[in-house]
Amino acid sequence: MTQKPLFLTEFALVRLLKEMLLDMGFSDTKADCLAQVHLMQSDIPTRWSEFIEHNCVVCKWTPQHCLFLNPLPEHCSGTTTPQDVKAANALMIETARVTRCPALEAEE
């Protein structure tokens, strides 16, 4: 899976969710309604969009090479793995506990 940021509209995200629900066997109408309601109730797409817009766009690193989005083993402590740190960092973005990228702050 690529780490490139994708700039999608809410319409595109609804279509993606609807496609998944149709593949799961939901009727067209139910899939459409569920996709729209799910997106309306989630802050995750907005928080990721804002994080990317205010951080990744002005950063010299690409998301593939960002140490915040893609930590290396030397950035982990104890038995923590890079995947653990990556998941924790994503959760920090999705819950708005981090709005300014620590990697970008370290460059300043």
The model's pLDDT over 45-98, given as tens digits with 9 standing for 90+, comes to 889 989 988 998 888 888 888 889 999 999 889 999 999 999 999 999 999 999
Cα(14)–Cα(53) distance, integer angstroms:
21
- Please give the pLDDT value at position 68: 92
Cα(17)–Cα(90) distance, integer angstroms:
20
Token digits for 93?
């973005």
Answer whether 0.75 is exceeded by the pTM: yes
- Please give the pLDDT value at position 15: 94
- Please give the pLDDT value at position 30: 96
- Please give the pLDDT value at position 88: 94
> Where are the domains positioned within the chain?
8-42, 43-108
Write out pLDDT tens, residues 6-50.
Answer: 677 889 999 999 999 999 999 999 999 999 999 999 999 889 989
- Please give the pLDDT value at position 105: 74
